């Protein structure tokens, strides 16, 4: 990428492009967090400037909202701070053995390997976060909104952050909707429009109402749609993570399992195709031998035909030998302890009542040999 940019734009721009790429994609920078603070702050500013002043004129909204609004904002700030500052579950030379005992290797996506950067054996379900430059237990993903990795110890705070923002959006939507509706029904133009409709002199009621709303409540309507869209998006994201928790699978593991499934399917297809070609090759060579005896083919023609039949066998590693025994459509998850225990494990990661996985991975001679190799991988 740098070479291409340098050739097209010059050396200085190429160097700047490399710096830009490293800073924004591979460093713990606050850009996305600042963007979140900006859009949230602007939304709150316009809420208090253009919506909240009508609160005291709206009879359907009680005074309880004078307490609920600051509580909701404090909830969001608290969840943000604790998510940003919390430890995601850093693995060190001092505690990596404890994590190895906590989660066994499933011999599917997790094998005993050495982290080249940290220099110790990587526990199962962990991943070396290149942005934080440390191994994280039960790694889920790196969240740019929080400038922090999401792992075993702070997954609950990440969910709290999502839930608090979701509540803020839907609460804001409800509050603004009440204000807009109240202002609309009490407006003189609205009353005149309804009167005309009842007397049969007004046909385009919807158009008139839209004009009233847009002329008098344009910023409120913009906030109304923004809070609704963001609220729905956050709710879908929360439900997706709840689904992962119910299966005791992290986002990182979800992608790994998907890649593993595709890898096994492709590898099995390669082997099946190789065996088919090998069978055809044997049959063809037999036919050539028969034709050669009958002197139907010249020696040169036979040699050329055999060269065309050179089939390269797919490379099969020790890991492949284990993986090819698996059913790609029914991969076992040894970490799934059941719905309630899975949620308990997320919200109380340090609890002594957590039980080890009920299922242990099947060990065989090949697996043991592989485990003893301690392959290096980041």
User: HEC profile for 69-92?
Assistant: HHHHHHHHHHHHHHHHHCCCCEEC
Asked if residue 316 and residue 231 are part of one domain, the reply reads no
The model carries a pTM of: 0.79
Q: Are residues 59 and 159 in the same domain?
A: yes
Structural domain includes residue 126: no
Same domain, 165 and 36: yes
Alpha carbon of residue 186 to chain centroid: 46
- In this structure, the answer to whether residues 235 and 264 fall within a common structural domain is no
Q: Specify whether 164 is located in the same domain as 188.
A: yes
Query: Tokens for 343?
Result: 């949620």
Last residue of a domain, one of 217, 247, 277: 247
> Is residue 266 located within the same domain as residue 234?
no
Residue 315 lies in a domain: yes
Q: Indicate if 176 and 55 belong to the same structural domain.
A: yes
Domain hosting residue 301, numbered range: 259-332
Res 148: pLDDT? 96
Residue 223: how many CB atoms within 10 A of its CB?
Answer: 24
pLDDT of 28 reads 85
- Count of CB atoms situated within 10 Å of the CB of 236: 10
Q: Do 83 and 172 fall within a single domain?
A: yes
**C-beta separation of 226 from 218 below 8 A:** no
**324 close to 133: Cβ distance less than 8 angstroms:** no
| Confidence at residue 14, expressed as pLDDT on a 0 to 100 scale | 54
- Which pLDDT value is given to residue 291? 60
- pLDDT confidence of residue 180: 84
Residues 175 and 199 in one domain: yes
Last residue of a domain, one of 310, 332, 354: 332
Query: How many domains, the chain?
Result: 2
Q: Is residue 253 part of a domain?
A: no
What ranges make up the beta strands (E) of the chain?
90-91, 113-114, 127-129, 134-136, 141-143, 148-150, 375-376
Q: Residue 234 CA to chain centroid, in angstroms?
A: 13
Do 317 and 286 belong together in one domain? Answer: yes
Low-confidence ranges of the chain (pLDDT < 70): 1-17, 19-20, 23-24, 186-216, 280-281, 284-285, 287-314, 352-378
What CA–CA distances, in Å, run from 319 to 109, 182, 325, 365, 375?
10, 67, 10, 12, 11
């Amino acid at each position: 990428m740098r070479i291409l940019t340098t050739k097209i734009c010059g050396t200085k721009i190429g160097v700047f492009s490399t710096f830009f790429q490293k800073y924004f994609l591979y460093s713990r920078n606050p850009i996305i967090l600042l963007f979140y603070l900006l859009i949230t702050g602007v939304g709150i500013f316009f809420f208090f400037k253009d919506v909240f002043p009508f609160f005291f004129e709206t009879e359907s909204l009680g005074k309880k909202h004078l307490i609920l609004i600051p509580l909701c904002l404090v909830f969001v700030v608290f969840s943000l701070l604790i998510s940003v500052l919390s430890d995601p579950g850093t693995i060190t030379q001092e505690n990596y053995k404890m994590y190895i005992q906590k989660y066994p290797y499933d011999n599917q996506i997790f094998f005993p390997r050495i982290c080249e950067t940290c220099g110790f054996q990587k526990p199962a379900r962990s991943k070396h976060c290149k942005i934080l430059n440390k191994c994280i237990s039960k790694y889920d993903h790196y969240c740019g909104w929080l400038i922090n990795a999401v792992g075993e110890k702070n997954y609950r705070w990440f969910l709290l952050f999502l839930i608090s923002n979701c509540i803020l959006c839907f609460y804001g939507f409800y509050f603004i909707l009440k204000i807009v509706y109240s202002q609309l029904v009490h407006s003189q133009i609205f009353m005149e429009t309804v009167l005309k409709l009842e007397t049969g002199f007004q046909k385009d009621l919807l158009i008139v109402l839209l004009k009233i709303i847009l002329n008098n409540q344009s910023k409120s309507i913009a906030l109304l749609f923004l809070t609704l869209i963001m609220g729905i998006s956050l709710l879908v994201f929360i439900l997706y993570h709840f689904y992962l928790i119910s299966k005791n699978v992290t986002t990182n593991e979800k992608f790994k399992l998907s890649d593993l499934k595709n890898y096994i399917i492709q590898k099995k297809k390669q082997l099946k195709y190789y065996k088919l070609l090998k069978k055809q090759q044997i049959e063809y060579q037999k036919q050539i031998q028969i034709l050669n005896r009958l002197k139907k083919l010249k020696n040169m023609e036979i040699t050329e035909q055999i060269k065309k039949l050179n089939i390269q066998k797919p490379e099969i590693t020790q890991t492949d030998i284990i993986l090819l025994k698996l059913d790609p459509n029914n991969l076992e998850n040894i970490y799934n302890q059941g719905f309630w225990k899975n949620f308990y494990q997320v919200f109380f990661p340090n609890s002594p009542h957590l039980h080890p996985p009920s299922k242990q991975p099947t060990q065989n001679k090949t697996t043991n040999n592989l485990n003893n190799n301690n392959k290096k991988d980041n």
